[in-house]
Structure 1
Amino acid sequence: MASDKQTVTRLDSNYMQQYDAYIERQRRKKKRLIRRLVLFSLIAVIAIGTMATYHFKQRVLHAEKTEEYQALQKELTSLEKQEANLQEEVELLNDEDYVLQIARTNYFFSKEGELIFKLPDEKPSY
């Protein structure tokens, strides 16, 4: 083993030719297998990346829609309260006594023979 020179001569027999062809086929099979695995891996990475991107976009969209829904729910609640107040006011305005009371307090209408005195809202200084 001290010398680098090959001392074994290769036989050029039919068996050796078949063996070499077998080794070459195995090498090509391995090369094709690696190519297929790389292609499959590339397709899998692209598919997973696309799905992950789509998933995160959907999560962001869902969060925005949820926030918008909650804001609209709050607005709906306040509008329903406002509607109830306005319905109550409409019912009160249909009452003649209530309308007369508003006219007397806001517009100083009086009954026959009644005098109205407007007092200042300020507290006296003494």
Structure 2
Amino acid sequence: MQQYDVYIERQKRKRQRLIRRLVLFSLITLIVLGSMAGYHLQQRAVYAEKVEEYEQLEDTLADLEHEELLLEEEIELLQNEDYILDIARTNYFFSKEGELIFKIPDESPSY
């Protein structure tokens, strides 16, 4: 009977050690999985932020490219002497030789 009791006691200890190892392994697994999930969520947030920033930069690039085209057109126009003379005549009241410029007041009455 004593051998049987010793055998039962060993089995209980083995079972307790097994349970402790399983609990420890489970805790380590949960900690690792939890940290991986947290890291994944953090990376998704960073990715979403970077995508938004990329879209804003693409919009800015498109605006700047459009502005560049407009400025290139203006450069081409400013190289034309007739265009420059037209701007000078309309904005600065320059006249051609023998030409008189009269400034006409606005037709809307201001009371």
Shorter-chain TM band: over 0.9
Greater relative contact order: 1 or 2 (C-alpha under 8 angstroms, separation 6 or more)? 2
Q: 2:33 aligns with which of 27, 48, 64?
A: 48
Quick one: which amino acid aligns to residue 108 of structure 1? F
Q: 1:110 aligns with which of 95, 98, 103?
A: 95
Moved more, 111-120 or 81-90: 111-120
1: distance between equivalents of 2:55 and 2:107? 45
In the alignment, does 2:81 pair up with 1:92?
no
Q: 2:55 aligns with which of 35, 59, 70?
A: 70
Moved more, 115-124 or 65-74: 115-124
TM-score, length-scaled by structure 1: 0.82
Greater helix percent: which structure? 2
RMSD: 1.3
Deviation at 1:122?
A: 4.0
Q: 1:25 maps to which residue? A: 10
Count of paired positions: 110
Identity %: 68
Deviation at 1:124?
A: 5.2
Deviation at 1:123?
A: 2.6
Q: 1:34 maps to which residue? A: 19
Q: Residue 46 of structure 1 aligns to a residue in which SS? A: helix
2: distance between equivalents of 1:60 and 1:121? 59
1: distance between equivalents of 2:104 and 2:55? 48
